[in-house]
Amino acid sequence: MLETIGEAALAVAKTRHAIAVATLADAVRPVYRADDRGQPDHEGSCVLLQLGGTKYALTASHVVEAGKITDSDLYIGGESRFVKISGTCYRSRAPRGIFKDHYDFALVALSDDDISSLGDIKYISEANISKGQTQSDGHVYTVIGYPNTKNKDIDKQLRAVTSNRWNYYSVPRDGTDVSRKIEVDGGEHIFVGYDKRSLDVNGNQVNSIKLKGVSGGAVIDLGRLGAPENLSPDAAFTPRLVALFIEHHSDKQITVATKIGFIVESLDLAGIL
């Protein structure tokens, strides 16, 4: 039985999505703050990286700002406990204010104590990072993060939570209108589609969840599946972190992510890396 290129691409995307989640998802962690009663309150997501010999937590700058606004420390969900973010935080420049920063990244170097407290979890190394992607046409992307709606279960007696990681995969969309709206040229961003309806794990069409809380999560490149040569089951594939999820424009059914290459270059030029 023959299949169309579209059907073949969908099958390959599904397989590669599963590989990406199995390989890299453990490096995407939830971020919490303490509410005014001292209870954990889910705020966003972060990605754990290893660049050179140093381990870092990368998140959206507005996630860090939320902790400052509420006068709360921020905590990363580790293997079995919360770990307070205590290192120096390096953030994207925001001359018009944090909430008009559409590059929106923040990096914290983790101390040896932080790393020990986080436990046996994944860090994404440079072997799984894509810094040079310039075109997204034909690619498929996995998004991984922690939506607020899936992370509300809190045991107030124990001050414990059950964290629920979430993921989906989709194709890029034309980001021209969104770029104009947020006043960027789009060259440092990836725009991935996110429709109001989507398929669940059983293939049923359902209402898509709200993406608040996914900010600071990972966008993984599954490859350029618009190219027929990449549809072979034997085609080489390595899942690579390509961007940091920062925002969702529901009116355009588009998500926005800042390219990792731009983030690393910015931090490198500032002498931070």
What CATH number is given to the structural domain containing 140?
A: 2.40.10.120
pLDDT-derived band of residue 231, with 50, 70 and 90 as boundaries? confident
Tell me what pLDDT residue 33 has: 87
Burial class (CB in 10 A: 0-12, 13-18, 19+), 12: buried
Dihedral angle, C-alpha 26, 265, 62, 184, nearest 10 °: -120
Q: How far apart are CA 249 and CA 140, in angstroms?
A: 19
Tell me what pLDDT residue 2 has: 41
Q: Which domain holds residue 161?
A: 5-269
DSSP letters along 248-270, please?
EETTTTEEEEEEHHHHHHHHHHT
Q: Mean pLDDT throughout 62-82?
A: 83
pLDDT-derived band of residue 253, with 50, 70 and 90 as boundaries? very high
- Enter the pTM of the model: 0.92
Amino acid in the structure at residue 183: E
Q: How far apart are CA 189 and CA 179, in angstroms?
A: 9
Tell me what pLDDT residue 1 has: 41
Tell me the per-residue pLDDT of 140-197, one tens digit each, with 9 for 90 and over. 999 999 999 988 776 655 556 788 999 999 999 999 999 999 999 999 999 999 998 8
Domain count, the chain: 1
